[in-house]
Amino acid sequence: MREIGHFIGGKHVAGTSGRTADVFNPATGEVQAKVALASVSEIRAAVENAKEAQPKWAATNPQRRARVFMKFVDLLNQNMDELAEMLSREHGKTVEDSKGDVIRGLEVCEFVIGIPHLSKGEFTEGAGPQIDMYSMRQPVGIGAGITPFNFPGMIPMWMFAPAIACGNAFILKPSERDPSLPIRLAELMIEAGLPAGILNVVNGDKAAVDAILTDPDIGAVSFVGSTPIARYVYGTAAMNGKRAQCFGGAKNHMIIMPDADLDQAVNALMGAGYGSAGERCMAVSVAVPVGEETANRLVEKLVPKIESLRIGPYTDDKADMGPVVTKEAHARINGLIDRGVEEGAKLVVDGRGFKLQGYENGYFVGGTLFDNVTPDMDIYKQEIFGPVLSVVRAHNYEDALSLPMKHEYGNGVAIFTRDGDAARDFASRINIGMIGINVPIPVPLAYHSFGGWKASSFGDLNQHGTDSIKFWTKTKTITARWPSGIKDGAEFVMPVMK
């Protein structure tokens, strides 16, 4: 049985807590590895390594830090097939989808190669009589990231790349469900020239999370997961004097206007709703057709495409989607489908009971479609995180707009239309963080920032883009005047510029 420990101080370290968790193959239901679950002392060992290494790394000029990421990007490209296969083996998503996972993380690493420019401060000459004023950005010291199972490559890189580029050391606590890839990324960072101790990977559960949140030497924490845990992490981090950015759940709507290209909209819904078995925080889980005719035509076109989805293990290179990640996730998704039927939604395509020959014990859920869903139903209110699409029919544009506006989550939203006025109005009025216009999954590119509104996000600064540089640094502002410009005598009034 393969055993997965930690990566501390630039080397592999076996777990010492005596606690482990099973790592499953989602396609077969079999245990493929055991992963160590860290104790408080193991988290502390990682922090001590980071604490020792960080000052010298912070003193390394930004151009040399950037060169590490240049090399790291090259290594990611060289090892792409290996990384994708490693990810798929533990997550269950298709290999091509896993490559997309790694590439979206790689793009943030490309972005931070610009750290010599991104980390520059500001300067004002002559801000007052013989006074110059300038600011500088300095690292927070030690940062930490707590990442989810669904993007074990992308989200860790979204966190550690800007943090490390800014001169910080970093403690990564990845999901214990698919822990191999994050450790491999740390190995490649060392190969790229990163000093030992700057990136440490510690596997664990809530005990490790709490140790991170209460450790006095960790200055900032980034988290992605469910909203209840995001609230907990944000509150606990704040109580312990840490800066925090925490990203939670989502219920992403896609509005289909009567003038939309319906074939384009249907293809967009298929990819955004069922790709990665719906296990994406930006997955479209609610389709909102405007008008009965639009709704009827939409459902009519969706049904045969959903019924013809190719579902299989990651080793099937023709599969559209794989299994969900765990037995518990499988049971929860099926339970919510049951609940939708009980609440009166029309189950048009039923994915329950899907079995694949040779993989009968795998965690597969077939593509599922509900129609006539209403906002009071649990399948509308909850994030299902599975291959389940709900159709909520809207009488008109204003009714359609009100649905995502009133929902507690505000991660992403999309509108499909040929009407520029409608699209512009939608983008202006909607209270959602990321908006797509004829784009179903509006995840910004690396040089813009990723983040939702409402119960989908806690904290003032988003991931990647320039927000990430602000989050992982502290601003220091200096006001300087030299003796030749200082007059005799004390001044007892509030200083002002005259």
Q: What is the pTM of this model?
A: 0.96
Sequence letter at residue 338: D
| Location of structure tokens 């990723």 | 450
User: How much is the pLDDT for 130?
Assistant: 87
User: How much is the pLDDT for 492?
Assistant: 80
User: How much is the pLDDT for 125?
Assistant: 95
Question: CA-based diameter of the chain, in Å?
Answer: 90
Mind listing the pLDDT tens digit for each residue in 336-380? 999 999 999 999 999 999 999 999 999 999 999 999 999 999 999
User: How much is the pLDDT for 488?
Assistant: 67
The CATH 3.40.605.10 portion of the chain extends over: 2-248+456-478
Sequence letter at residue 183: I
CATH 3.40.309.10 matches 252-437: yes
Q: Are 66 and 114 in contact (CB under 8 A)?
A: yes
At 253 the three-state DSSP class reads: strand
At 46 the three-state DSSP class reads: helix
CA-to-CA distance for 36 and 465, rounded, in angstroms?
Answer: 33
Q: Are 468 and 445 in contact (CB under 8 A)?
A: no
User: How much is the pLDDT for 495?
Assistant: 76
Cα angle 156-157-161, degrees, rounded to a multiple of 5? 125
Taking 70 as the threshold, does the pLDDT of residue 486 lie above it?
A: no
User: How much is the pLDDT for 497?
Assistant: 65
User: How much is the pLDDT for 496?
Assistant: 76
Return the percent helix, strand and coil in the chain, to nearest 5: 40, 25, 35
User: How much is the pLDDT for 232?
Assistant: 98
CATH 3.40.605.10 matches 2-248+456-478: yes
CA-to-CA distance for 464 and 466, rounded, in angstroms?
Answer: 7
| Location of structure tokens 């993380």 | 105
Element (H, E) at 76: helix 62-78
52 band by pLDDT with thresholds 50, 70 and 90: very high
Backbone angles phi, psi at 161, to 5 degrees: -65, -55
Active site residues per annotation:
281
Backbone angles phi, psi at 19, to 5 degrees: -105, 140
User: How much is the pLDDT for 46?
Assistant: 98
CA-to-CA distance for 239 and 223, rounded, in angstroms?
Answer: 16
498 band by pLDDT with thresholds 50, 70 and 90: low
Average confidence (pLDDT) over 42-67: 98
149-153, 157-161, 270-274, 493-497: segment of lowest average pLDDT: 493-497
Instruction: Give percent of the chain above pLDDT 70.
Output: 99
The CATH 3.40.309.10 portion of the chain extends over: 252-437
Taking 60 as the threshold, does the pLDDT of residue 485 lie above it?
A: no
User: How much is the pLDDT for 71?
Assistant: 98
Mind listing the pLDDT tens digit for each residue in 406-422? 999 999 999 999 999 99
Per the structure block, which two tokens stand in for 489? Answer: 């005598």
Which letter does DSSP use for residue 321 in this model? B
The whole-angstrom distance between residue 186's C-alpha and the CA centroid of its chain comes to: 18
Mean pLDDT of the chain: 97
Beta bridge partners of 194: none
Q: Are 433 and 456 in contact (CB under 8 A)?
A: yes
